[in-house]
C-alpha cells in the first residue's frame, strides 16, 4: 500500500476528483478526512470507503471560511493523531462566469473565495499540523487554463487557478527545508459534473475537445491516480511543480524556445 498509515484531508470530497481521490487513498491505506459543503454526497463518499474496508470520516466545511478550515485540520489530528497529506481540491466553476465585461463582481469574488482563499486557508492551518508530523505533502488543484486560458470565457475561474499556481510555487520554496512538498495538480478538460454543467451544449464541448490531442475528456479517476503519485513517497524529490495531466493540450500550444 502506497499510503499505509498516512492521514489525508481531502476537500471537495463529495464528487469528481475529490471523491475518486478519497476512494483511492483509502484503498492505498490512508485514513481519510473527506471534506465538503455537500453533506449528503459527502456521506456517500464515506459509505463507499467503508464498504471496501477503508477508514474515513466526513467533515462538513465551507473552505472559504477560516473556522471551517481550522476545524477540518483539527478533526484529522483529533480523529487520527496527525496529518500527512492535504489535498486542497475544492473548487467552483460558476455558470455565470464569462469575460471581464459580462462577469458580475459577486461571481468573481465568490470564485476567488473558494478557489484561492480556500487553498490559502487550507495551507494556513494545515502546515502547522504537517510540521508536527515531521513533514508531509500538500496538493493544490489548479487547471490547464491557468497556463493557456480558456476557449470558452470563464475569467474568474481562469484567474483563480493562476493564483493557485503562484501560491503553490511560493509555498513550495518557503517550506521545502521543512520536508513539506507542495505541488499543483493541473487537470485538463474532464468529464465531471462541474465542467459538463459549464459546457452545457455540444458546441461548447467540441470547442474544448478540438484542442485536446487525445480527443477525449479526462476522467476524475485519472486525476486521482496523479494525486496518488504526488502524495506518495515515489515523488519524494518533486515540489513546486505544475503537474499537467491534460491529454496533451498544453503541449499542443507550447511555443518552442
pLDDT per position in the chain (257 positions), as tens? 999 999 999 999 999 999 999 999 999 999 999 999 999 999 999 999 999 999 999 999 999 999 999 999 999 999 999 999 999 999 999 989 999 999 999 999 999 999 999 999 999 999 999 999 999 999 999 999 999 888 789 999 999 999 999 999 999 999 999 999 999 999 998 887 777 777 788 888 887 788 889 888 999 999 999 999 999 999 999 999 999 999 998 888 765 55
Enumerate the H helices of the chain as residue ranges.
Answer: 16-27, 39-51, 66-80, 105-112, 118-132, 145-148, 155-175, 193-198, 202-209, 220-231, 249-252
- Residue 42 is assigned to a structural domain of this protein: yes
Known catalytic residues are 157
- Residue 251 is assigned to a structural domain of this protein: no
- Residue 165 is assigned to a structural domain of this protein: yes
What pLDDT sits at residue 203? 82
What pLDDT sits at residue 254? 60
The overall average pLDDT reported for the chain is 94
Enumerate residues 6+ apart whose C-beta is below 8 A from 248: 212, 213, 214
CATH number at residue 146: 3.40.50.720
- Residue 151 is assigned to a structural domain of this protein: yes
What pLDDT sits at residue 256? 53
- Residue 158 is assigned to a structural domain of this protein: yes
- Residue 253 is assigned to a structural domain of this protein: no
SS3 243: strand
* Half-sphere exposure in the Cβ direction for 162 (13 Å, CA): 12
Q: What is the largest CA-CA distance in the chain?
A: 51
Q: What's the total number of domains in the chain?
A: 1
- Residue 161 is assigned to a structural domain of this protein: yes
What pLDDT sits at residue 255? 55
Sign of CA dihedral 162, 163, 164, 168: positive
- Residue 2 is assigned to a structural domain of this protein: no
For 154, the domain range is 7-244
Amino acid at each position: 500500500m502506497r499510503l499505509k498509515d498516512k492521514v489525508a484531508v481531502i476537500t471537495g470530497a463529495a464528487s469528481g476528483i475529490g471523491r475518486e481521490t478519497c476512494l483511492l487513498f483509502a484503498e492505498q491505506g490512508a485514513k481519510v478526512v473527506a471534506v465538503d459543503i455537500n453533506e449528503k454526497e459527502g456521506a456517500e463518499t464515506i459509505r463507499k470507503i467503508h464498504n471496501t474496508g477503508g477508514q474515513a470520516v466526513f467533515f462538513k466545511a465551507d473552505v472559504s471560511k477560516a473556522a471551517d478550515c481550522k476545524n477540518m485540520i483539527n478533526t484529522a489530528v483529533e480523529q487520527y493523531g496527525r496529518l500527512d497529506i492535504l489535498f486542497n481540491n475544492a473548487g467552483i466553476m460558476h455558470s455565470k462566469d464569462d469575460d471581464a465585461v459580462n462577469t458580475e463582481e459577486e461571481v468573481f469574488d465568490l470564485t476567488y473565495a473558494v478557489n484561492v482563499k480556500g487553498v490559502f486557508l487550507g495551507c494556513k492551518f494545515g502546515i502547522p499540523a504537517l510540521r508536527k508530523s515531521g513533514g508531509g505533502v500538500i496538493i493544490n488543484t489548479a487547471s490547464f487554463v491557468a497556463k493557456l486560458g480558456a476557449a470558452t470565457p470563464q475569467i474568474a475561474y481562469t484567474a483563480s487557478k493562476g493564483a493557485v499556481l503562484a501560491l503553490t510555487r511560493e509555498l513550495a520554496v518557503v517550506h521545502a527545508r521543512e520536508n513539506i512538498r507542495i505541488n499543483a495538480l493541473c487537470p485538463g478538460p474532464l468529464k465531471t459534473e462541474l465542467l459538463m454543467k459549464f459546457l452545457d451544449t455540444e458546441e461548447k464541448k467540441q470547442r474544448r475537445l478540438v484542442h485536446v490531442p487525445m480527443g477525449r475528456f479526462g476522467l476524475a479517476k485519472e486525476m486521482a491516480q496523479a494525486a496518488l503519485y504526488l502524495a506518495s513517497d515515489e515523488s519524494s524529490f518533486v515540489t513546486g511543480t505544475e503537474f499537467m495531466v491534460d491529454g496533451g493540450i498544453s503541449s499542443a500550444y507550447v511555443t518552442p524556445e
